[in-house]
A and B are shown apart, each in its own frame.
Chain A
Amino acid sequence: MSTETLTIGKALNLGLRRAMEDDAKVVLMGEDIGRLGGVFRITDGLQKDFGEDRVVDTPLAEAGILGTAVGLAMRGYRPVCEIQFDGFVFPAYNQIVTQVAKIHARSRGRLAMPVVIRIPFGGGIGAVEHHSESPEAYFAHTPGLKVVAVSNPVDAYWGIQQAIAHPDPIVFLEPKRRYWDKAEVDTAAPPDPLFASRVVRGGDDVTVLAYGPMVKTALQAAEAAAEEGRSLEVVDLRAISPLDLDPVFDSVRRTGRCVVVHEAPVTLGLGAEIATRVTEQCFHSLEAPVLRVGGYDTPYPPSKLEEEYLPDLDRVLDAVDRALQF
């Protein structure tokens, strides 16, 4: 067993490095990822060690990044595309939705599309507009794509390697405000498959679901609730598409209450889909409607307002209270 203390950012960097060592067909592409090492330094040092053909500083055009990634994948490469910030993925949206997502199906499996699209997502860093968004529902709504969101250094290290080795295209969401969170990472073996949800804290009163940056918030809420004698079970969904909800159904059948937390606006967000499925599967166990805690249905606000916009410990506990009072 070999253990290192790593931030999420460093874990991603080491995971990318290991994936590139394992498979010479892995090519990283993105804006400023080479010489600079990326604006968050996730690819720091990789161009120096793997060369400009494998860590490509691209022209500044996101559709170009994804469109050429499609061609590279057709030629047998495994492109890993970095989108610099969540709000800049939309120029590439056409390629992702009309091409990347469909090529395997429309070629009846003849063409594989093992493309990983890394996107630092979510708010909380005091940024200007287009730098704090949570676009996951757009991609989860698209058949042919898979979507994952990591919440911790272990999943960052292993998840990026699993995603790169996976045959389907994956939108890989990185919680940018948690890039500097640290944890012990066992670099010998992955603890979980990529698309499995995980119970990260056991509890009996309310099931709280989260992914990406909100897992930490949910755990903080559970800690605070425990001091008040309430026992929250926290599930890190990890995969957003496909969802792995069997552990969630088991949990809700015990607790009878479910709160879903995400930063994205609540309307037609992941919480809507999850609430529906939990209701379909656990209808007779539910003591309260499934409640959602998320961003408001507004454009992401200027940063002086983001603390009000983003779900935090208190808003999660407020929803927990409402679920328990039902």
Chain B
Amino acid sequence: MCEWCHTRAPRDVHTARLEPATPAAAADGEEEHVSVSSATEVVDPVPGAGAPHLPRQPDLVQLLTPEGERVEHPQYAIDLDAEELRDLYRDLVLVRRWDVEATALQRQGELGIWASLLGQEAAQVGAGRALQPGDMAFPTYREHGVAWTRGVDPLHVMSLFRGVDNGGWDPVATAFNLYTVVIGAQTLHATGYAMGVQRDGAETAVLAFLGDGATSQGEVNEAMIWAASFSAPVVFFCQNNQYAISVPLERQSRVPLYQRAAGFGFPGVRVDGNDVLAVLAVTRAALAAAREGQGPTFVEAFTYRMGAHTTSDDPTRYRLASELEEWKLRDPIARVKAYLSRSGVADADFFAAVEAEADELAARIRRGTTEMPDPPGTAMFDQVYAEQTPHLAAQQAEFEAYQASFEGGAES
């Protein structure tokens, strides 16, 4: 195990260091513990953060360095043509633009809340583009980038965060389940769906999304036990963005997350979650293995939530700005742009065209969101059951009569 995989002994207060410590020094336990701030730094330094020139970690799959240099990995190869590379860049940019627009719309009162994916674009686009059309995805509530790759209309996601519905897309037609807000519950749904795939004899893989916090949930652990026990064709794709709202990873796990898989009896891989090429390669391989009957894989996409947990959150209360600055050096989009430019795959005209497309998308999202009508009051009575029960029909009639009593209320 390399130095940054070590998990330190538990301690109650995580303190910032006076002096920047190198990862090696930190692993040796030589850092000084001096309380200087109520905010904290992650105790395990981000792999290579602040020092991207350091040697790569041996068990982090990376195909594109933060500087945009293409590197090879002994197990995971990828060979994309120029158009595929440009498409990935376009995905990343458009998804980020959507996310930025949504955050702005929330600030302007047009959304109730927004869960930003800022910084996780590569993890989501890479995982989403690894899916084949017949595969099925089970998202959390932050997978806007995956929604994009499944052809979900962004406005159908915006309607959820505006409070119009619980997600307006068709989960069957898009093969992208509705968002699940109860942490980790969808990993069991994905596993059960995969058990159905087995019974159908279909060559379909299922991708279950979860975060680092969710790995503490009993249901997620049950899902992994089930998946292993039945060798279900499901891939657990964990975006480790370092925080469960405010709580850092080390409160969830004393071992690197991908190593948990071994305990369940299937492979675990840690991939640079900010490297879209590596995420695509690793997830493709895991999904292919699932389709071929080799059972589940756990993919830990090592990434960083560059924004707040949601627009209701204030990350300055639990992490230092310097940490974000370190991660900005590992930005998932900048490295692709550098690679495309340097390799001649894309030119200035292409980048300008993508920017223009992003602006158009943002304008469409803004217009569609602000013009979105509220649902009728009776909508809440719809579809509670396959057929409305007499009791509920009576309650709806009561509701309608009550509402109607306000019309022309001057006389009453």
Contacts and interface: CB of A to CB of B under 8 A. Distances in A.
A68 B171 contact: no
A235 to B, nearest CB: 17
A202 to B, nearest CB: 25
B189 A70 contact: yes
Given A72-B192, A108-B383, A111-B172, A61 B185 contact: no
A99 B196 CA distance: 18
A63 to B, nearest CB: 5
A208 B165 CA distance: 43
B191 A68 contact: yes
Given A67-B188, A71-B189, A94 B222 contact: no
A63 B219 contact: yes
B190 to A, nearest CB: 6
A286 interface: no
A91 B165 CA distance: 29
A106 B225 contact: no
Nearest to A71: B192
B390 interface: yes
Interface size class of B (residues with CB under 8 A): 35 or more
Most buried by B among A27, A63, A77, A111: A63
Contacts of B166: 106-107
Contacts of B210: none
B201 to A, nearest CB: 11
B386 A112 contact: yes
A91 B222 CA distance: 11
B192 A59 contact: no
Interface in A65-82: 66-77, 79
A304 interface: no
B53 interface: no
Nearest to A75: B196
Interface in B361-396: 382-387, 389-392
A98 interface: yes
A161 interface: no
Interface string B228-260: 010000000000000000000000000000000
Contact of B226 (A68, A105, A110): A68
Interface in B196-217: 196-200
B170 A110 contact: yes
Interface string B167-191: 1001110000110101001011111
Contacts of A143: 384
Nearest to A108: B383
Contact of A70 (B165, B188, B383): B188
B61 interface: no
A76 B196 contact: yes
Contacts of A111: 171-172, 178
Nearest to A74: B193
Contacts of B167: 106
B223 A64 contact: yes
A148 to B, nearest CB: 13
Interface size class of A (residues with CB under 8 A): 35 or more
A133 to B, nearest CB: 21
A307 to B, nearest CB: 36
Given A72-B192, A72-B193, A106-B178, A61 B383 contact: no
B200 A98 contact: no
A106 B380 CA distance: 10
A144 interface: yes
B195 interface: yes
A69 B192 contact: yes
A95 B185 CA distance: 7
B218 interface: yes
A104 interface: yes
A302 interface: no
B225 A64 contact: yes
Nearest to A99: B185
B301 interface: no
Contacts of A103: 178
A4 interface: no
Most buried by A among B170, B171, B196, B225: B196
B105 interface: no
B194 interface: yes
A103 B196 CA distance: 18
Interface string A193-227: 00000000000000000000000000000000000
Nearest to B192: A71
A99 B182 contact: yes
A168 B189 CA distance: 17
Contacts of A66: 188
B200 A61 contact: no
A108 to B, nearest CB: 5
B382 A108 contact: yes
Contact of B200 (A75, A99, A106, A242): A75
Nearest to A27: B199
A126 interface: no
A146 interface: yes
A112 B172 CA distance: 11
A76 B58 CA distance: 43
Contacts of B178: 103, 106-107, 111
29 contacts: A53-B199, A58-B226, A59-B226, A61-B218, A61-B222, A64-B188, A64-B225, A64-B226, A67-B187, A67-B188, A68-B191, A69-B192, A70-B192, A71-B189, A72-B193, A95-B188, A98-B182, A103-B178, A104-B383, A104-B385, A106-B166, A108-B165, A109-B383, A110-B170, A111-B172, A143-B384, A144-B385, A242-B389, A242-B390
Interface of B: 165-167, 170-172, 177-178, 180, 182, 185, 187-200, 218-219, 222-223, 225-226, 229, 382-387, 389-392
What 10 A-B pairs have minimum CB-CB distances, sorted nearest first? Answer: A67-B188, A71-B192, A75-B196, A68-B192, A71-B193, A167-B386, A64-B222, A106-B166, A109-B383, A71-B189
Given A70-B188, A70-B192, 20 more contacts: A53-B198, A58-B226, A59-B225, A61-B218, A64-B219, A66-B188, A68-B223, A68-B226, A74-B189, A74-B196, A75-B195, A94-B185, A99-B180, A105-B384, A106-B178, A107-B166, A107-B383, A108-B165, A167-B386, A242-B390
